[in-house]
Amino acid sequence: MDTSSQARLLYYQQAVTIWEGFCRLHKELYDLTAEEYITLLASDIDKIETMLPIKEEIIGRVGELEKERAHLIKKINESNLFAVEISRAGELLEAFADIDQKSGIPALRNLNSLLIDIINKIQDQNKKNQMFLNKAMLSIREMRQGFSGKKTYTTYGADGMTRQLNR
């Protein structure tokens, strides 16, 4: 194996390690987001407050991995191992497609597919959490109005803008 092939293999292994980290952290984030929904349903505000710093810490670690990925791409571009310059993650995956296919298990491609799946699940769960919060805020607003004796109705004008009527 020549030095060029060895260097490409080394960079490939570094990319796999970074993608493994992305998958692990996003799985933690998904688990926390799902737990957040259950906590919202239980109206456990204290637990929600303890979950937010954990979520921020995980997101920070994802940011650090993103920096590692950018640094790896920079090192690969400086090495001139590939004919084209890599600027995005997809181009990085494409550059290593031959190594990925030669291995018994296409690790990088599989990890990327898993990462995309986890991210989609996080987005779906975040939508559920946001819908719950929106409904809760609407209920609180209606309760406040009931206590004050004022009722606010929201209507839409011809221009599509919402208008609030107090009664």
Whether the Cβ atoms of residue 15 and residue 96 lie closer than 8 Å to each other: yes
- Quick: pLDDT tens for 74-110: 999 999 999 899 999 999 999 999 999 888 889 999 9
CA proximity to 25, closest of 118, 142, 140, 147: 118
CA distance 142 to 151: 8
CA distance 82 to 68: 19
- If one compares 144 and 49, the residue with the highest pLDDT of the two is 49
- Quick: pLDDT tens for 155-165: 666 666 666 65
In the chain, the domains with their CATH numbers are 3-150 (1.20.58)
- In the DSSP assignment, the letter for residue 156 is E
Report field, pTM of the whole predicted structure over 0.85: no
